Amino acid sequence: RAKMQQRTGHLYFSRSMGIDIRERVNMMHALRTAFEEKQLFVVYQPQIDLVTRAPVGAEALLRWQTEDNTMISPNRFIPIAEYSGLIIELGEWVLRQACQELVRIQRLGFSNFMMSVNVSQVQFRHPHFLGMLRKALEDTNAPPHCIELEITESMAMEEPDALIKLLDQIAATGVSIAIDDFGTGFSSLSHLQKLNVDRLKIDRTFVMEITDSSRGSSIAEMIIQLGRNLELDVIAEGVEDERQAKILTELGCPFGQGYLFSHPLNPDALHDWLSHHKQH
Ligand code: C2E
Ligand code: MG
Ligand code: MG
Ligand code: MG
């Protein structure tokens, strides 16, 4: 059964996504057109200090709103962008947008504000990734130590030697690295220890399942403990209610992000939100 699933894995994937080949090709064209016609935009979800509730940063998230006002989820179109190669251009554009937005926010007085940007596997493995990053920082004047790249746990596990080198080169620019959706992959702890990364991002599914009764055995708690042992920062994503925020805080998780604090916001709404959440 496992063998058969493996063989037909691709089919399973496309069926479960509800996207057949024709649909995928159509979407590829539509996405390119949307990009050219500026129907793509970036929203920013605040990240907060769980103890003080002060804003510390934001994550840039890509949005696609079609002409008839339908929103298409990045979970659907990012794989298409990766498949078609458009992600290279698109990813650079998102990074530059995020850098420019960071500069604006810092000018509003949030001088230590951090900006997190998701990076796809395809971008990360591209030979010009590092050059692209350096150029984007230079052109936008964004302070590198306030930029964080989010890579996924599976990306952090491939080709160890090349990865270790790339992470060191990124660290040399001043930019930091977070491992996104942490806990959903299969990273080996000994490997993790060798990587020049700065932060673990607890996946939303583990935040959803923390309850008072699971205390001491929850995956979220283990990740917080792991962060402490490896001297990595930890942020919880998908915090939706006060109970989760309370438990995470008690477990010593320093940072949080989720609908409880704010949904992703367009720049104007973010500036407005920030003006009501000034650091004290
Ligand atoms: P992610 O990086 O793990 O981003 C977190 C996702 O969780 C976002 O979904 C965000 O809107 C959502 N979220 C935040 N707080 C909550 C909450 O409290 N509850 C729930 N239910 N959801 C919450 P979004 O924006 O739909 O993005 C989905 C995924 O698409 C992202 O997951 C990321 O993997 C990818 N993505 C988004 N923008 C980009 C991008 O610019 N580049 C790349 N490569 N990937 C992107
Ligand atoms: Mg992310
Ligand atoms: Mg995530
Ligand atoms: Mg996630």
- Is residue 122 within 8 A of residue 88, CB to CB? The reply is yes
Q: Is 78 in the pocket of ligand 1 (CB under 6 A)?
A: yes
- b/e for 211-233, b at 16 or more Cβ within 10 A? eeeeeeebbbbebbebbeeeebb
Ligand 1, residues 41, 45, 61, 266: which to mutate, most atoms within 8 A of Cβ?
61
Q: Is residue 237 a contact partner of residue 260, using CB atoms and an 8 Å limit?
A: no
Q: Is ipTM strictly over 0.85?
A: yes
Cα–Cα dist 79/27, whole Å: 11
Which residue's CA is the nearest one to ligand 1's atom 42?
118
Contacts of 84 (CB under 8 A, 6+ apart): 28, 31, 32
Taking the CA of residue 81 as reference, the ligand 1 atom at the shortest distance is 44
Q: What is the mean pLDDT of each run of 10 residues along the chain (280 residues)?
A: 41 53 89 95 98 97 94 95 96 98 96 97 94 98 98 85 94 98 84 93 94 78 95 97 96 97 98 86
pLDDT attached to residue 128? 96
Regarding the beta carbon of 74 and ligand 1, being less than 6 Å apart is answered: yes
Of 250, 200, 196, 257, nearest to 56 by C-alpha is 257
The pTM (predicted TM-score) of the whole model is: 0.92
Amino acid 5: pLDDT:
42
